[in-house]
Structure 1
Amino acid sequence: MTDRFSTRIRPSIWLACASVLCAATVQAQSLRLTTQLSLPTATPVPGVQRTADYIVALVNSEPVTNNEVRQRLVRVEQQMAQQGTAMPPRDQLARQVLEQIINERIQVQQATELGITVSEADVTQAEQSIAAQNQLSPEQFRRRLATEGVDINRLRNDLRSQILLQRVRERQVDSRVRVTEADIDDFIREQQSSDVLANLELNLAHVLFIVPEGASPERIKELQDKAQDVAARARAGTDFAQLAREFSDAPERVNGGQFGMRPAERLPSLFVDATRSLNVGDIAGPLRSPAGFHILKVLDKRQAGMPDVNVTQTRARHILLRPDAQLTQADAVARLNGWRQQLASGQASFEALAREHSQDGSASQGGDLGWAGPGQFVPEFEQVMNSLRPGEVSTPLVSRFGVHLIKVEERRQTKLSAREQREIVRGLVREKKTDEALRAWALDVRGRAFIEYREAPQQ
C-alpha cells in the first residue's frame, strides 16, 4: 500500500478537472503566473461588427478560433471571481488565455508526434472519476453538465487533451529529473536564508457567498448576515467541511472547501493578509471581495523549503475497490456507500469489512495503513484523510488506484529525524526541478513551432 501511495506523485487528471461542474477551468491558476503579452492587434473595420467565428491564430497550420478563446475566457473569469482573485483588464486576460491555448495545442501536437494516444476508455474513466468524486452516477453527472450548459463532447475533448498533456510531460520531463545530495544541501541553505513571507505556505478552507452583479443593498445585507452566521458557527466548533458543502458557492465545496497547501503568492492577497498571523484552526471573515463574502479556516501553515521538525501523523484505515470489467466505478461507489451505512448503524466494524472486501495489501491488517506523515500518500487521498476527525468515515473517494472508504483512527504529533527531514526536502527539490524542467521543455517546443497570429480575439 505504502509503495503504491508513495509521495510526490502528480494529481490525476480527474482531480485537475473537478471544477468543471462550476464552469471553472484547470488553467486559471497557471494564468496567474503569466506575464503580460504583446500580440498583434487587429485593425477594426469602421461600421462593421463581427458576429461569425473566425481564426485568431494558426499553430503549425492548426487553427485556434475566437470561440475557443471566448469559452475558455468565461471559465477562467468565473473561477478567478469565485476565488477572489484580482482580474487584469479583459482584453489582456483574453490574450493570456489565447497564449495558454496555443501552448497546450503545441504540446498536444508533440504528444501525437511521439505516438502517445488516449483511448475512449481512458476518457470515459476520467469522466466517471469526476462524477464519482462529486457523488454522482455517470447519468446524473451528464444531466448536471446539461443544466450547467456544458457540452459533454467538449468536456471529453478537454479531458482527452489534458490526459495527453499529462502523459507527454511525464515522458519528456518527469522521468529525466534527478536529485542529488548536493541539490538537497543547496536547497536547505537557500531556504534558511530567504524571506519568511516568500516561503509561507497555507492550506485554507473556504466558504463563499457569491454576491450577484447589481445586487440590491437588501440582498447584499442578507448574504452578509448569512456569512456572519456561518462564521459564528465555524468559530463555535461546527465542522467547517460540512459548512462548506452546505453553504459555499465555490467549486472547492466538493472537497469540504479546501484549497490544498499553496504558496502564499498563489493565493489572493486578501486571504493571505487575513490569515498569515492566525494559528492553525483559526477562522477569518467574513471578508468582502468583488466576488462576495468569504469565510476562511487555517487548516495548516508552514515555511516552504524546510519541513517542520514536529509534524502531525495520522493513523487511518481504508477499504479499496478496484473497478474492472466486472465492477464498474459507479457500482464500487454504491457498494462502499452501503458499507458506510452499515458502519453508521453499528451493523459492522470497519476492520471486519476491510478484511473481507478490501482489494489492497492492507486488508489482512483490517485496512490499517499505519502512522503516516504529510506527503506520504497521493494528494487526492491525503486531502480527504486530513479533512476527517478521529473516528470519522469518509464518503467514497476516487483515486488513481480505485475507490476508497477511509476511516481516521487517531492523530499525534511526532518529531522527524534528520533523515526523514532530508527525504521530505528531497521531494520538494524534485518538485522544484520538475517545474523548472517543464518550463524549459515548454519553451523549447514553443520555439520550434510555427505560430501565426491572425486577428486579436474579441469578447
Structure 2
Amino acid sequence: MKPRAIAVGLMGLASLVPLGAAAQGVRLPGAQRPQLSAPVAAPSNTQRQADFIVAVVNAEPVTNNEVRARMARVLRQIQQSGGAQPPLDLLAAEVMEQLIVEKAQMQLAKEGGITVDELAIDQAAQTIARRNEVSMEEMLRRLSAEGVSREQFRLELRRQLTLQRLREREVDARVRVSEPEIDQFLREQSPQGADLARTELNIAQVLIAVPEDASEAQVAAAQARAQGVADKARANGDFAALAREFSDAPGATNSGGQMGLRAADRYPELFVSAVASLPVGGVAGPVRSGAGFHVLKLIEKSRASLPATVVQSRARHILLRTSAQLSETAAVERLADYRRRILAGQADFAQLAREHSQDASAKQGGDLGWVNPGTFVPEFEEVMDALKPGDLSQPLISRFGVHLIQLQERREQRLSAREQREVARQAVRMKKTEDAYATWMQEVRGRAYVEYRDPPQ
C-alpha cells in the first residue's frame, strides 16, 4: 500500500498554531482555522537562473519562482483532493495576491520584533508528526519523497508561526465581548430564537462581475454567461471546476467557490433567501447584486446549538514567562529538569508551582480547576487533551511562555447556566475575532505600497 501523503494541516479545527481567532473559542459546528501546509520543492537551478520580479511590496520583491512554488503546492493539494485543475493564469494571479499580503504581514512582524526560535519550530513539527501518527523521521522521509526538504519544511513553519504571533498581537488581543452580546447570542440559541441565527450554511458561488458603469449590452452578456454556468451546474456539472473557470470572486481558484460553513446571518441576505428552499446540492440563480450575477450552490446545511454536556478536565501547570533574562531554551531546560525531578520522586509538583510558576494559579499549586473544552489556547489544550490522568507533559511553548502540565482528572459534566454563558462568550469571541481579522487583513493590504512588474510565468 502506498503511504498516504503527510497532512501538514495543523490539527484541522484544533490546530497547534491556530490563528488566534478561535484560540479562546468553543469549537462549534463549522468553526474553521487556517491550515498549515508543507512547502513544495524549490525551483530547479535552471528556473532560478530565469527568475524575475513580478511585484514589489514596500521595496521587497515577489519573484516568479515564489509564485511558481506556491502554485505547485496549491495544485498538489487540488490533485490530492480529486479536484479539477483551475486555469493557470487565474491561479497565478490569486497566488501572487496571497504572497503580496503575506509579505506585508511579515514586514509588520519584523518591524514589531516578532521572532520564532528553533524550539517553537521543533514543537510544531512534533505536533504535525503526532497528528499524522508517524515518527518525526518517517514524516521527514515522506516529505522528502514529495520534494520537500527538512530546511524548507522548517522555514515554512517559521513563517506561519510568525504570522500567527502577529495576528495574536494585532487582532486577537484586542477583541472584547460585552455582556449584551452574550445575551443576544443566548437568545438566538434558545428554542424561541431566530432560525436564521441557528442555521449554518456552506454556500458555493460563481460570480460573474458587472462593472459599475456597465452598458446594457455588458449587463446582458454577463447575465447570459451566468445563466450558462447555472445551466451547466444544474446538469450535474462540477461546480468547483465551474467556479475556478468562470468566477470573478476572490479565492474561487483555491476554494472551488465555497465560502465555508458559517451562521446564515453571516451571509448576504440575498444569498440566504436564494438558497432557503433548496435541498443540499441544489443550485440557485443567477441572482443579481451590486457586484454582478451570482450562481449559488448549497453545499451544506446544519443547525448550531450549545452543548448540554461536556468532558471537563482538571489540570495544573507551572508557567515560566520568557524575557530578556529567560529565553525559551532556558525555560524549557528548567521545566525539563522539574519534570525529571517530579518523575523521580525528588520533588512535588504543587510545591514547585508555588515556588516558581509565574501564573495566578501558583498559590494553588498550579491547579487550574475544572475547565470546559475551549477554555485554554489550543496549543495548551491539545497537549493537555493528549494526557491521561496523572501524566506529565513535556515542556510546552505557548504564546504566554513555557508550561509543564499535569492532568489530574477528567469527567463528563452537564453545563450549568454560568458555564453555558461562558461557552456563549467563547463562541461570540470566535466570530468577532474572525471578522476583525478579515478587516485587519484588508487594512494591511491597503497600506502596502505594491508595484506590479512582469506577470508571473
- TM interval, shorter chain, is 0.5 to 0.7
Separation of aligned partners in 1, 2:307 and 2:357: 34
Separation of aligned partners in 2, 1:151 and 1:412: 38
Contact 2:124/2:157, CA 8 A, preserved across alignment: no
Q: 1:129 aligns with which of 120, 125, 129?
A: 120
Kindly provide the amino acid, as one letter, of the partner of residue 180 in structure 2: T
Change (3 A) 1:161 1:339: closer
Question: Once the 2 structures are TM-superposed, how far is the Cα of residue 96 of structure 1 from its aligned partner?
Answer: 3.1
Separation of aligned partners in 2, 1:362 and 1:158: 31
Contact 1:24/1:76, CA 8 A, preserved across alignment: no
Question: Once the 2 structures are TM-superposed, how far is the Cα of residue 375 of structure 1 from its aligned partner?
Answer: 1.9
Residue 323 of structure 1 aligns to a residue whose secondary structure is coil
Change (3 A) 1:437 1:318: closer
Contact 1:394/1:407, CA 8 A, preserved across alignment: yes
Deviation per CA, 1:279-306, whole angstroms, max 9, x where unpaired? xxxxxxxxxxxxxxxxxxxxxxxx8843
Q: Verify: 1:184 aligned to 2:178, yes or no.
A: no
Separation of aligned partners in 1, 2:117 and 2:84: 30
User: Which stretches in structure 1 are left out of the alignment for 5+ residues?
Assistant: 1-7, 26-48, 137-143, 200-262, 267-302
Question: Once the 2 structures are TM-superposed, how far is the Cα of residue 410 of structure 1 from its aligned partner?
Answer: 0.6
Residue 111 of structure 2: aligned partner: 117
Contact 2:53/2:64, CA 8 A, preserved across alignment: yes
Change (3 A) 1:442 1:155: closer
Residue 329 of structure 1: aligned partner: 328
Give the 5 Å matches for 1:140-289. 148-150=150-152, 163-164=165-166, 166-169=168-171, 174-175=174-175, 180-181=180-181, 183-185=184-186, 187-188=188-189, 189=193, 194=198
Contact 1:336/1:396, CA 8 A, preserved across alignment: yes
Contact 1:179/1:430, CA 8 A, preserved across alignment: no
Residue 56 of structure 1 aligns to a residue whose secondary structure is strand
Report the number of matched residues: 309
Separation of aligned partners in 2, 1:60 and 1:335: 42
Q: Verify: 1:103 aligned to 2:101, yes or no.
A: yes
Q: Kindly name which structure, 1 or 2, has the bigger radius of gyration based on alpha carbons.
A: 2
Question: Once the 2 structures are TM-superposed, how far is the Cα of residue 74 of structure 1 from its aligned partner?
Answer: 4.8
Residue 355 of structure 1: aligned partner: 354
Deviation per CA, 1:228-280, whole angstroms, max 9, x where unpaired? xxxxxxxxxxxxxxxxxxxxxxxxxxxxxxxxxxx9969xxxxxxxxxxxxxx
Separation of aligned partners in 1, 2:111 and 2:48: 37
Question: Once the 2 structures are TM-superposed, how far is the Cα of residue 414 of structure 1 from its aligned partner?
Answer: 1.4
Residue 56 of structure 1: aligned partner: 54
Residue 310 of structure 1: aligned partner: 309
Kindly provide the amino acid, as one letter, of the partner of residue 55 in structure 1: I
Question: Once the 2 structures are TM-superposed, how far is the Cα of residue 73 of structure 1 from its aligned partner?
Answer: 3.8
Change (3 A) 1:187 1:63: farther
Change (3 A) 1:161 1:398: closer
Residue 339 of structure 2 aligns to a residue whose secondary structure is helix
Residue 354 of structure 1 aligns to a residue whose secondary structure is helix
Question: Once the 2 structures are TM-superposed, how far is the Cα of residue 77 of structure 1 from its aligned partner?
Answer: 6.0
Question: Once the 2 structures are TM-superposed, how far is the Cα of residue 151 of structure 1 from its aligned partner?
Answer: 9.6
Question: Once the 2 structures are TM-superposed, how far is the Cα of residue 374 of structure 1 from its aligned partner?
Answer: 1.5
Kindly provide the amino acid, as one letter, of the partner of residue 427 in structure 1: Q
Residue 257 of structure 1: aligned partner: none
Residue 66 of structure 2: aligned partner: 68
Residue 439 of structure 1 aligns to a residue whose secondary structure is helix
Deviation per CA, 1:131-176, whole angstroms, max 9, x where unpaired? 455579xxxxxxx9996233988987776666555544458xx447
Change (3 A) 1:158 1:320: closer
Separation of aligned partners in 1, 2:358 and 2:165: 26
Residue 428 of structure 2 aligns to a residue whose secondary structure is helix
Contact 1:17/1:130, CA 8 A, preserved across alignment: no
Residue 150 of structure 1 aligns to a residue whose secondary structure is helix
Contact 1:391/1:408, CA 8 A, preserved across alignment: yes
Question: Once the 2 structures are TM-superposed, how far is the Cα of residue 187 of structure 1 from its aligned partner?
Answer: 4.3
Question: Once the 2 structures are TM-superposed, how far is the Cα of residue 66 of structure 1 from its aligned partner?
Answer: 1.0
Change (3 A) 1:433 1:452: same
Kindly provide the amino acid, as one letter, of the partner of residue 52 in structure 1: A
Deviation per CA, 1:72-108, whole angstroms, max 9, x where unpaired? 34555677788x6857448354443222122334556
RMSD: 4.7
Give the 5 Å matches for 1:76-91. 88-89=85-86, 91=88
Question: Once the 2 structures are TM-superposed, how far is the Cα of residue 390 of structure 1 from its aligned partner?
Answer: 0.9
Residue 376 of structure 1: aligned partner: 375
Separation of aligned partners in 2, 1:81 and 1:389: 38
Separation of aligned partners in 2, 1:347 and 1:176: 44
Contact 2:317/2:404, CA 8 A, preserved across alignment: yes
Contact 1:314/1:411, CA 8 A, preserved across alignment: yes
Separation of aligned partners in 1, 2:163 and 2:447: 20
Deviation per CA, 1:213-242, whole angstroms, max 9, x where unpaired? xxxxxxxxxxxxxxxxxxxxxxxxxxxxxx
Question: Once the 2 structures are TM-superposed, how far is the Cα of residue 373 of structure 1 from its aligned partner?
Answer: 1.2
Identity of aligned residues (%): 45
Residue 180 of structure 1 aligns to a residue whose secondary structure is helix
Residue 390 of structure 2 aligns to a residue whose secondary structure is coil
Residue 254 of structure 1: aligned partner: none
Contact 1:309/1:415, CA 8 A, preserved across alignment: yes
